Amino acid sequence: MLSHFQSFPSKFNMGASVRWSWLAALLCLLCMGVEVECDCSLDNVRNQGGGFMLSKGLKTGSMLVFNCSEGYYPYPKFTHICYSKGWDPPLKTNQRCKLVECPDPTVMQNGNVDPFEDKYYVTNTTTYTCYSGYTLRGSSTRTCLPNGKWSGSTPICSRDSGNTCADPGIPPGASRMGNIFEIDDKVKYTCSGDLILVGQNERVCQENGQWTGKEPACYYKYTFDTALEISEEFGNAIKDILTTWQSANTQEGRIIRMSKNGTVNIYIGVDISESIDQTYVQRAREAIVTLMKKNSSFTVSPNYEIVFFSSEIYEVVNILDFFGEKPSLSSLVEKVESFEIGDKNTGTNLYAVFKRFEERMAIIQERTKEKFKEHRHIIILFTDGAYNMGGSPEPTVARIKSRVYSNHDEQTKEEYLDIYIFAIGVEISDADLQPLALGTGGKHYFRLKHDTNLNETFDDIIDERDVVGLCGLHKGYDTTADKISKRKRYPWVVFVIVQGEDPKRCLGSLVSSKFVLTAAHCFQFGDTPDQVTVEIEDRPGNIVKKVKTFILHPDYNITAKKDQGVDEFYDYDVALIQLQDDVDISAVARPICIPCTQETSDALQLVGVSTCAQQEQVLLNKQRERLSFLTKTAPLVQEKDVFAKLGDNVRNTCINKALKAEGIKVTDPTIPVTKNFLCTGGLTEHRDHVACTGDSGGAVFKTFEYRTIQVGVVSWGTQSLCTAGGLVESNEDSRDFHINLFRVVPFLKSILGDDDQDDYVPIKFLKD
Ligand SMILES: *[C@@H]1O[C@H](CO)[C@@H](O)[C@H](O)[C@H]1NC(C)=O
Ligand SMILES: *[C@@H]1O[C@H](CO)[C@@H](O)[C@H](O)[C@H]1NC(C)=O
Ligand SMILES: *[C@@H]1O[C@H](CO)[C@@H](O)[C@H](O)[C@H]1NC(C)=O
Ligand SMILES: *[C@@H]1O[C@H](CO)[C@@H](O)[C@H](O)[C@H]1NC(C)=O
Ligand SMILES: *[C@@H]1O[C@H](CO)[C@@H](O)[C@H](O)[C@H]1NC(C)=O
Ligand SMILES: *[C@@H]1O[C@H](CO)[C@@H](O)[C@H](O)[C@H]1NC(C)=O
């Protein structure tokens, strides 16, 4: 493996052939300096239109890798290895970057392909029409994409012949044997020329009129699967396994569902042998961590076996540990992230990896006895498959299969074992790897490109609108600051506009598909629901939501302490807005978690019967508790960092500043700032942000890995430092006060938890 791309000084990686004559000379000197023989030379190394990299300089064993920009691939070779006698195979003089081609689409039967060409290159578009009497299924136009695939799906021209199964068509580049489509009839595919068949080469017509498996595809050596494709195939399958709330739906091809007591064992192997570039390993590592951290959104808690391997196995996480006291998520992440890859990783022993998985499985079976039947096993492998030690892993895979399958009947057994192969590296041994992929319901073999962002792919796994029961779920990354990414990060944020004599703009938070929580002071006496609008872009372009009604906290009374010297009194400054129609729940519009609900206990992973007090203990327990709230700025919002002062002393110091606010003429700060408020701001220890005009009504929240929980509502502050909004820092005296939601639970529960109405689905609140 090319584990040394990154330790090689970057200027040496540039690969622009012109510079290499003096670099080569320098390299040789360096080599000789440490008495390493200089085996290969850069004379004649060129890749017209592209570049190249070396894994270990010019030493024996180094790999020369050609690279090209998107839409091109290195030809005639991808790589050469440096042996003592020089480059192997010998360098070609015509090495260059060639335009990506897509497999031949003219294999379609009973129709026309326009234009009809010998070869089809990236960006070429084709259209498909059927002869008369035939109808078209699939795409009528397809474009050749930079990854070597056609967009859309295979066009098929067929006529109703009364066969049990429909004509399965012929994917581009393939030829098909078998033209009868009755029960038990088989069709068999082969790919022409150097194309590799990915998927199963045979499909059988079943009684239900469906073909078994999925359509195979013909790949060139440079064809790869995009992050989106992986997300759709692998993502959906694994989501199905790890989330049981889907158990009611029966999706195509999926028969069994995990019962709550079922167990999922995930075995992951990452190839770190020399032929794998470090970036792939790093990508795989990030993806694993992302997957593990997602567990707050899973309804089953998987057990993990994680190994890195070359000629040896480095077991980073032992699955047997999960059968005692479960290791903490952070310790698992730490182990995966901190594993150091040494530099003696010659050889790939894929056999040993499966052997290790098999041994672990055997011990689990012995320990769990009867319950082993309810275990589902998922093996995920990142490798180029060039195994050169230990022999073929196929017999071991066969034993694993029979161990798992023997517990189940014919119809369901395949649901209990999946082997996913993520083929990584420059030279992939497809022929060795493909037979190892296994499982029902879609593709299990993926070819990855160097820069495929597996991270986001794995992050996308739990995202769809069908994940309704999960308040506060959001995307972990915030890499691009466009509006959509921001919405995915803060899917619950809404803007509230009250048109009245004195129009007001506030923030609010979606707390269910029908309700928005905001501040009571956003409304004035006499405001009516038709003057109120709520903005949340749950579907593109669909922003403004109509309001059915709004309800202020019954104890909110701004003039209640006027005669005590408090001009404006903001206790109980909360309100709920009921929308006329449900917001469409998705990755960009999803409720935040609020205190004392069952969903929040689940998000906090409190087990058994939990209480409000337990939640408060987790959320608000430090002397200074780190919280956030939002401010509206283009393209959507920005996050403000604050610390709530909760310890007696720090809280007293904090609320004392209220005495300096305009309109407050009392000496006891607890008169304007009751125990119902959280206090933030100031600059000792941490320079907090302050609330600005327009931030009112917004959520004060705490973020966990993938869940957000609202603990307060932005209410008022001692100073008006920023009437134009934005991210503004606190000064010595400015403080903000937010309603602590734990103090207004009866109000929230009376409306959101009301099960005596048919207007909306009530939220399940805790008993106490
Ligand atoms: C080839 O890789 C090198 C090193 O990563 C990079 O600097 C160069 O831009 C790449 N060339 C092309 C054409 O992608
Ligand atoms: C297909 O793409 C190639 C390369 O860009 C181009 O030369 C050719 O004209 C295209 N053919 C058609 C029919 O568009
Ligand atoms: C697991 O759950 C199913 C149904 O929910 C039940 O029939 C089965 O007995 C349970 N198994 C164990 C070992 O608890
Ligand atoms: C991948 O995910 C990790 C967290 O799991 C994050 O720290 C890292 O920045 C992400 N990398 C990319 C390239 O998105
Ligand atoms: C997440 O993983 C940790 C560590 O394995 C485990 O203790 C916890 O129960 C898991 N949570 C869920 C919701 O599965
Ligand atoms: C608000 O408080 C004042 C002073 O206690 C009282 O006179 C007034 O009736 C209250 N208003 C409402 C709507 O309760």
Q: For residue 536, give the CATH number of its domain.
A: 2.40.10.120
| Residue owning the nearest CA to atom 6 of ligand 6 | 560
Joined together, the tokens standing for residue 486 give 């921001």
Residue 29 domain flag: yes
End position of a domain, from candidates 464, 493, 522: 464
Residue 511 has pLDDT above 50, yes or no: yes
108 and 75 housed in the same domain? no
Count Cβ atoms below 10 Å from residue 431 Cβ, excluding itself: 10
pLDDT classification of 9: cutoffs 50, 70, 90: very low
Count of alpha carbons within 13 angstroms of residue 499, beta-carbon side? 7
Domain coverage including residue 266: 231-464
* Ligand nearest to the CA of residue 260, numbered in listed order: 3
Task: Specify burial of residue 207 (Cβ count, 10 A radius: 0-12, 13-18, 19+).
Answer: exposed
142 and 243 housed in the same domain? no
**Rounded Cα–Cα distance for residues 268 and 307 (Å):** 6
136 and 200 housed in the same domain? yes
Q: How many domains does one find in the chain?
A: 4
Q: How high is the pLDDT of residue 296?
A: 57
Write the CB contacts of 141 (distance below 8 Å, at least 6 apart in sequence). 125, 126, 127, 128, 152
Write the CB contacts of 208 (distance below 8 Å, at least 6 apart in sequence). none
521 and 594 housed in the same domain? yes
**Rounded Cα–Cα distance for residues 441 and 418 (Å):** 10
Q: How high is the pLDDT of residue 480?
A: 58
Residue 426 domain flag: yes
End position of a domain, from candidates 55, 79, 99: 99
**Rounded Cα–Cα distance for residues 550 and 579 (Å):** 9
Residue 6 near ligand 1, beta carbon < 6 Å: no
Residue 554 has pLDDT above 50, yes or no: yes
Q: How high is the pLDDT of residue 381?
A: 94
Residue 672 domain flag: yes
Joined together, the tokens standing for residue 187 give 């069709």
Helix axes 394-405, 350-368, angle to 10 degrees: 20
Pocket of ligand 2, candidates 121, 123, 143, 145: which has the most ligand atoms within 8 Å of its Cβ, to mutate?
121
pLDDT classification of 680: cutoffs 50, 70, 90: very high
407 and 298 housed in the same domain? yes
Residue 210 domain flag: yes
Residue 667 domain flag: yes
pLDDT classification of 2: cutoffs 50, 70, 90: very low
The 10s digit of each residue's pLDDT in 411-453 is 778 888 999 999 988 888 998 999 999 987 678 999 988 667 7
431 and 457 housed in the same domain? yes
The 10s digit of each residue's pLDDT in 105-139 is 999 999 999 999 999 999 999 999 999 999 999 99
60 and 111 housed in the same domain? no
281 and 353 housed in the same domain? yes
Find the radius of gyration of the CA atoms of the chain.
Answer: 31
**Rounded Cα–Cα distance for residues 426 and 530 (Å):** 62
63 against 179, higher pLDDT? 179
Write the CB contacts of 36 (distance below 8 Å, at least 6 apart in sequence). 59
Residue 290 domain flag: yes
Residue 569 has pLDDT above 80, yes or no: yes
Q: How high is the pLDDT of residue 452?
A: 72
Residue 455 near ligand 4, beta carbon < 6 Å: yes
The CATH number given to whatever domain includes residue 320 is 3.40.50.410
Q: 204-218, 419-433, 476-490, 743-757: which range is least confident on average?
A: 476-490
393 and 501 housed in the same domain? no
Q: How high is the pLDDT of residue 238?
A: 76
Residue 472 domain flag: no
Q: How high is the pLDDT of residue 31?
A: 47
End position of a domain, from candidates 99, 130, 148: 99
Count of alpha carbons within 13 angstroms of residue 617, beta-carbon side? 7
300 and 330 housed in the same domain? yes
| Residue owning the nearest CA to atom 13 of ligand 3 | 371
The CATH number given to whatever domain includes residue 200 is 2.10.70.10
- Mean pLDDT across the stretch 477-484? 68
Task: Indicate the average pLDDT of the chain.
Answer: 86
Between the alpha carbon of residue 355 and those of residues 4, 151, 379, the distances in Å are 28, 39, 12
- Mean pLDDT across the stretch 559-582? 96
**Computed from CA positions of residues 170, 174, 179, 185, in that sequence, does the dihedral angle turn out positive or negative?**
negative
In ligand 4, which atom is closest to the CA atom of 479?
Answer: 14
Q: How high is the pLDDT of residue 30?
A: 47
Residue 473 domain flag: no
Q: 101-105, 363-367, 447-451: which range is least confident on average?
A: 447-451
- Helices vs. strands in the chain: H and E counts, helices first: 14, 38
**Rounded Cα–Cα distance for residues 68 and 75 (Å):** 10
Q: How high is the pLDDT of residue 357?
A: 97
- The structure's pTM equals 0.64
- Mean pLDDT across the stretch 247-253? 34
278 and 385 housed in the same domain? yes
* Ligand nearest to the CA of residue 553, numbered in listed order: 6
pLDDT classification of 291: cutoffs 50, 70, 90: confident
438 and 554 housed in the same domain? no
